[in-house]
Amino acid sequence: MIGFMTDPLLQNPEKLQARLKEIPLEAGVYFMRDRQDGVIYIGKSKALRNRVRSYFRSSQDLSPRIAMMVQLVHEIEFIVTDSEAEALALEANLIKQYQPYYNVLLKDDKKYPYVCITWSEDYPRIFITRKRRMGGTKDKYYGPYVDVFNLKRTLGIIKRAFPLRQRPVPMFKDRPCLNYDIGLCPGVCQEKISPADYQKIVMRVAMIFQGRSSELVESFTEKMETAAADLEFEKAADLRDRIQVLKNLGADQKVSLPDDTVSRDAIALAYDAQHTCIQLFQIRAGRLVGRLAFVADSQSDIPEAILQRTLEAHYQNCDPVEIPNEVHTQLELPEVEILQAWLSDRKGRKVAIATPQRQLKAELIEMVERNAQYELARIQKQSDRNLQGLEDLAEILNLDSLPHRIEGYDISHIQGSDAVASQVVFIDGIPAKQHYRHYKIRNPDIQTGHSDDFASLAEVIARRFKNHANYQSPITNPPEDDLPDVVMIDGGKGQLSSVMKIIDKLGLRDRLTVISLAKKREEIFLPEQSEPLIGGDPERAGVQVLRRLRDEAHRFAITFHRKKRTQRMQRSHLDQITGLGHHRQKVLLEKFHSVEYIRQATVEQIAETEGIGKKLAQHIYEHFHPSTN
């Protein structure tokens, strides 16, 4: 294996030239490794030596991001393949395996939603999500979609047209709900339909999101005619209604193009110094069936390469039947032959990639580009607002630089009962929900009838920053980027003082900027200052950032508090049953999900619960049905 190198290749010309001569002029995949032997970049080319050599000729032709990457390269490896298409497929698999930092192109900022079908479950669910790749490996995602309203409308129509599960959790334990009686659900909760038959229904729905509605209409039409010929008029009428629904889904999205039978995608982008907005229109049978959006870092590469990378990333997640016959691009792709060969190989028939210059196809690209420009303008406006707010906040708090990470904390309870806390995080002024945290207050003195927000906040701050304390060694310390630039406490001087005592004990006063925001007048307090900041004007952009943070912390805390209160109320109802301890209550609630389900259960169903015998089950049943005593 390769050992650690003392100098990067750019600083060792002899080593670099010797290594470049070893690379063949064949198609394949190349690896860039850093000082620690980690893979920082993976690429592919039809001529490996020429492609790799281009990185080291002149930094003027490289994007700032790639130029920085080249300075870190200590070793180069390669794998030769039989064809360019094979190189692209291998590159995709290796990027998934190694996830190199400098291969990141598209930003996962959760602006746009996906449709998820959970094929990892026996009875797949279909829902809208902004978190991709969070479920099983078999789950399928479609998108990201730009028009959220139209996506929700489409999914609502689909759930009325096809018998699909309507609830994530069953309403009743031993019988289906009203949706089954009116034909909206096939009785999934009671397994009145087999998993195989239900998955056939979901497969038809998936065809809609694959842009294959016309195929589905043709299939339903044949079945309708067969049913009518066999005098199955009710079945034929049901199929007729579904056909009409499918035709109405895209009736108002007609696109004027020749060859309406040809499936095609059109892609274009708009960019500034920071952001690149990409739009991809999916046109099937002359109708716009999907409008997808992607956001990339403009520093990552030139626009042509960004377009190519976007298409590669998009089609890697598509089934072969979803790949169109034609792909129209705004700009000429740098490796169009490789992408074209790879797509044709996956689809099993020729896929044409072209850059239209005139007539209707060129007008289509112009329309896609206009949509990308509008999306870029929206992102610029949002970015400008966030930047203005962060600049103003830095001025208010007299910070040396713009605050990158801001954390907000709030407490929620009802007279001390079910006390919880929330931690919310804004990154560059945008909520970063992957960093949100809940806390259950552990202080035994805080209970029903006795609340103490000061002590609760002190406890939460101690738990949050204990690993950053000054007595920790550099080896065990968490990364510095985990430390916020600003910590905001919801409250006034008292809450801030209690928190600062903990901050001082941890030795973090010099590393953290801690403030509090009082609700009444939106006043900002700093440690050891009796009066609020003069700059605490509620309408100032910096104060608006803090208000958004405070409101989000409050929302997150009260949601968790309500959940804990509901669970406690359920257990308190079960506390009235003699012989039913805390552990058995927990087991019962895990099985039946709520007290209402336990009330509806039979003695036999309750007795099936682990740790609950028939005698206790009878006692529980009689508690909820006293008339049976």
With both helix axes pointing from N to C terminus, report the angle between 84-98 and 336-347 in degrees, rounded to the nearest 10.
Answer: 90
C-alpha span between 554 and 396 (Å, rounded): 23
Token pair 């003699």 is found at: 578
Q: So what's the pLDDT on residue 406?
A: 94
- 575-628: same fold as 405-566? no
Tell me which of 110-114, 160-164, 543-547, 560-564 is least confident. 110-114
C-alpha span between 469 and 344 (Å, rounded): 57
Q: How much is the average pLDDT of 100-125?
A: 79
* Confidence bin at 1 (pLDDT 50/70/90): very low
CATH superfamily of 405-566: UvrC, RNAse H endonuclease domain (3.30.420.340)
* Confidence bin at 287 (pLDDT 50/70/90): confident
Closest CA to 289 of 130, 147, 110: 147
**DSSP secondary structure, 199-211, as one string:** HHHHHHHHHHHTT
* Confidence bin at 569 (pLDDT 50/70/90): low
pTM: 0.64
Residue spans of the domains in the chain: they are 9-103, 115-249, 264-378, 405-566, 575-628
Distances (CA, A) of 235 to 181, 242, 627: 17, 11, 46
Task: Share the mean pLDDT of the chain.
Answer: 83
Answer yes or no: is pLDDT of 343 > 80. Answer: yes
- Could you tell me which residue, 346 or 219, shows the higher pLDDT? 346
Pick the CATH number of 9-103 from 3.90.550.10, 3.40.1440.10, 3.40.50.970, 1.20.1630.10: 3.40.1440.10
Q: So what's the pLDDT on residue 4?
A: 46
Tell me which of 396-405, 488-497, 584-593 is least confident. 584-593
| Range ranked top by mean pLDDT from 39-48, 227-236, 605-614 | 39-48
Residue 120 near residue 133 (C-beta atoms within 8 A)? no
Count the Cβ atoms, other than its own, within 10 Å of residue 2: 10
Q: How much is the average pLDDT of 86-102?
A: 85
For the stretch 478-531, pLDDT in tens is 555 578 999 999 988 888 999 999 999 988 988 899 999 987 778 888 998 888
Answer yes or no: is pLDDT of 6 > 80. Answer: no
Q: So what's the pLDDT on residue 255?
A: 56
Q: How much is the average pLDDT of 425-450?
A: 84
For the stretch 289-318, pLDDT in tens is 788 888 888 887 889 989 998 998 888 888
Q: So what's the pLDDT on residue 475?
A: 42
For the stretch 33-61, pLDDT in tens is 988 888 999 999 889 999 999 888 765 56
Q: For residue 381, which amino acid is it?
A: K
* Confidence bin at 473 (pLDDT 50/70/90): very low
- Could you tell me which residue, 517 or 539, shows the higher pLDDT? 517
Answer yes or no: is pLDDT of 175 > 90. Answer: no
For the stretch 350-374, pLDDT in tens is 999 999 988 888 888 999 999 999 9
- For 518, phi then psi, to 5°, come to -80, 140
Tell me which of 256-260, 303-307, 332-336 is least confident. 256-260
Q: So what's the pLDDT on residue 217?
A: 78
Q: How much is the average pLDDT of 94-112?
A: 74
- Fold for domain 264-378? Nucleotidyltransferase; domain 5 (3.30.420)
Token pair 């070793």 is found at: 75
- Considering the chain, what percentage of its residues have pLDDT values greater than 90? 24
Q: For residue 564, which amino acid is it?
A: K
C-alpha span between 432 and 344 (Å, rounded): 39
- Fold for domain 575-628? DNA polymerase; domain 1 (1.10.150)
- Considering the chain, what percentage of its residues have pLDDT values greater than 70? 90
Q: How far apart are the first and last CA of the chain?
A: 78
Q: So what's the pLDDT on residue 2?
A: 41
